[in-house]
Amino acid sequence: MAGQLRFQRGEEGTKRLTLSFIDADGKSIMPTLNIPINVQVAINESSATVQFAMIIPQLNLPHFGEYAIGLSIDGREEASVPLFVREAPLIPPFPQPPPAPA
């Protein structure tokens, strides 16, 4: 998973980014992921972006349906993104071409 966040000058410093994966009943489906990030705004800028990337080992989505990915910074929820898990439709195999005449 990768993302990019924008911070204003007054938000400089070390932050704790937290990602949580939640099912439709509001229950966590895996341990919360915590990422420390350092926000530094250049002298001639009013804001800065911070990029992050992480590997999510063994993400287990136990059933089809709606989930949510919650993003918090320093304990304050900033965003929630829906995640829909659907069953893949069955794709019929390609028909075989007729044999070439002999």
Banded model confidence at residue 61, pLDDT cuts 50, 70, 90: confident
Considering the four listed CATH numbers 1.10.600, 2.60.40, 1.10.287, 2.30.29, the one that applies to the domain covering 2-85 is 2.60.40
pLDDT, greater one: 94 or 51: 51
State the Cα torsion 77-82-83-85 to the nearest 10°: 140
Banded model confidence at residue 90, pLDDT cuts 50, 70, 90: confident
CB atoms within 10 A of CB 80: 13
pLDDT of residue 69: 92
d(CA 45, CA 43): 6
Domain spans, the chain: 2-85
